[in-house]
Amino acid sequence: RRFVDWQTFFNFGDGNVRPNKQIDGKLSTVVMLLPGSRGPAPGLPADGVQSLASRNLMRHVNFGIPSGQAIAQRMGLPVLTPTQLNALTPFGMERSTPLWFYILKEAELMEQGLRLGPVGSRIVGEVFIGLLKADDTSYLSARPQWTPVLPSATPGEFHMTDLLTFAGVVPPLN
């Protein structure tokens, strides 16, 4: 059974936060054989299309997804340098890194693996905003001027920890 222990996942200021694994460019062995994989495909490397890395690289090429550097530049965000990505030099990807891997390395190098970097954060944020704007029943559509007015630890600010406390999924801090 899996669950999230919110009191250790977010910093409630009680000293109980336990950071999870850091985001980096190292791939866990768990993603090397995904459920539902067909196994090695003829003519492909031994891992075929069963690993997440292989699938992501194939999507990058097949869908013509721009490199992480191209996306960062287009967004006007800092671009990782070839020196920062020198481990990719043997593969010729230090100047044109697949977006999915660029996002992992950006988090590792720019945010010490604690959170997504500028490109990754913006992509995730824009996806959520786009979904909310496209949903006629979302608060952005139904009440575009709405702002949270629930109790918060710091007046005028509202954080995830405030929402979790209000929802009653964590006991109030004394």
pLDDT in tens, 145-173: 887 778 888 888 888 899 898 888 886 65
pLDDT in tens, 58-92: 889 889 999 999 999 999 999 999 999 999 999 99
Q: With 0-12 CB in 10 A as exposed, 13-18 as middle and 19+ as buried, what is 13? A: exposed
Note whether 98 and 60 are within 8 A (CB).
Answer: yes
pTM as predicted: 0.77
Residue listed under structure tokens 């490397």: 45
Return the structure tokens found at 74: 């287009």
The CA–CA distances, whole Å, from 87 to 8, 25, 72, 90 equal 34, 10, 20, 7
